[in-house]
Amino acid sequence: MLNLYLFQILNGLGLGMIYFLIAVGLTIIFGLLNFVNFAHGAFFMLGAYLCYTLLQLTGAYWVALIAGPLIVAGFAWMVEKVLIRHCYHLPHTFHILITVGIALILQEGSILVWGPIGKSVPIPDMLQGVITFGKFAYPKYRLFLIMFSAVVGFVLWVLLERTRFGALVRAGSENPEMVSLLGADIYRLFSLTFALGVGLAGLAGVLSAPLRGAHPFMGPEVLGLAFVVVVIGGMGSFTGALVGGLIIGLVQSLMSTIWPQGASLMIYAAMAAVIFLRPYGLFGRA
């Protein structure tokens, strides 16, 4: 019984790290660009499909793991240059409208390319099977997922907190005009940050593909979850995205043993409870 709970807690951590990667990308983009990306879930879906295709083409999971997010990020970089750049000065309504448009194109485009029925992605050969600790056995891939995303989270933290790029992103989140006046190329910074944030969503898609597969309509659900994480954790906060993501992952995973049909519902109930008690989220500033 205890093992079952340990199993579900580890599952929840893995799920939570995926939610963290999605939400932290959303939050970085919003923090610097003051732009809400309603296509975030669609880019996650693109990552999952790329994982499927790259595995089909090369048979090597590590290729998908590296190339998948990079392709998504490169695509996002282009989209930023061509479309999104022209909208920063518009109200949020137009940010939402244009990214909803992009999400629709990605969703319908993926049906054209990959068909209306979802694709399942096999767990890579190297990571198949379970790893045992005494009496406790745990799937290798899920353990890899937790460790890999923890490493990515740490690298991201170093990037944001300990590098010049991170300093520019943080300064730009406070006051983009000032950063621009001090000589930094703010538009280049915007493109890179958008590509980074969306690339993280793509990475989350690649990582979750062997567990959840790829499906053309997974975008809206993922977008909703990312919003829940951000609402719980507080927008623009790295810690908030991490804690929010883990809370949601754990709630979903533990509830799925107690009340499987209601697991998704309980995520939203948890959010409503947090919002009721703390309108600005756990780590949000007023």
Partner 1 sequence: MRDSMVFDRMTLAVAVILAALPVLLPSASLAGEILIFAMAALACNLLLGYGGLLSFGQGLFFGVGSYLSALAMIHGGAGLLSALLIAMAAGAAVATLVGAMSIRRTGIYFVMLTLAFSQMGYFLAYTLSDWTGGDNGLLDVPRPDLTLFGVTLVPLGNPYAFYTFIAVLFFIVFVGAKRLIGSPFGSTLVAIRENENRALAVGYDTRHFKLLAFTLSGMVTALAGALYGMLINFVPLSNIELSMSDNIVIMTIIGGTGSLLGPLLGAGAMVILGEVLSDIWPRWMLLLGVGLILIVMFLRGGLWGGVEALAARFGLQRAAKEERP
Shortest reach from residue 28's CB to partner 1, in Å = 15
Residues 72 and 50: beta-carbon distance below 8 Å: yes
Q: Which residues bind partner 1 (CB under 8 A)?
A: 30, 36, 83, 86-87, 90, 92-94, 96-98, 100-105, 107-109, 111-112, 220-221, 223-224, 227-228, 230-231, 235, 261-262, 264-265, 267-269, 271-272, 275-276, 279-280
Shortest reach from residue 220's CB to partner 1, in Å = 4
Shortest reach from residue 243's CB to partner 1, in Å = 17
Give the residue with the Cβ less far from partner 1, 223 or 247: 223
Shortest reach from residue 199's CB to partner 1, in Å = 22
Shortest reach from residue 266's CB to partner 1, in Å = 9
Give the residue with the Cβ less far from partner 1, 134 or 260: 260
Residues 97 and 36: their CA atoms lie apart, in Å, by 10
Give the residue with the Cβ less far from partner 1, 36 or 60: 36
Residue 277's Cβ-side half-sphere holds a number of Cα atoms within 13 Å equal to: 9
Give the residue with the Cβ less far from partner 1, 44 or 61: 44
Q: Map the chain to HEC letters.
A: CHHHHHHHHHHHHHHHHHHHHHHHHHHHHHHHHCCCCCCHHHHHHHHHHHHHHHHHHHCCHHHHHHHHHHHHHHHHHHHHHHCHHHHCCCCHHHHHHHHHHHHHHHHHHHHHHHCCCCECCCCCHHHCCEEEECCEEEEHHHHHHHHHHHHHHHHHHHHHHHCHHHHHHHHHHHCHHHHHHCCCCHHHHHHHHHHHHHHHHHHHHHHHHHHHCECCCHHHHHHHHHHHHHHHHCCCCHHHHHHHHHHHHHHHHHHHHHCHHHHHHHHHHHHHHHHHHCCCCCCCCC
Shortest reach from residue 39's CB to partner 1, in Å = 10
Give the residue with the Cβ less far from partner 1, 62 or 280: 280
Shortest reach from residue 93's CB to partner 1, in Å = 6
Give the residue with the Cβ less far from partner 1, 1 or 286: 286
Shortest reach from residue 105's CB to partner 1, in Å = 4
Give the residue with the Cβ less far from partner 1, 206 or 225: 225
Q: What angle do CA 36, 38, 42 make, to 5 degrees?
A: 140
Give the residue with the Cβ less far from partner 1, 24 or 228: 228
Torsion of Cα atoms, 272 then 277 then 278 then 283, to 10°? -90
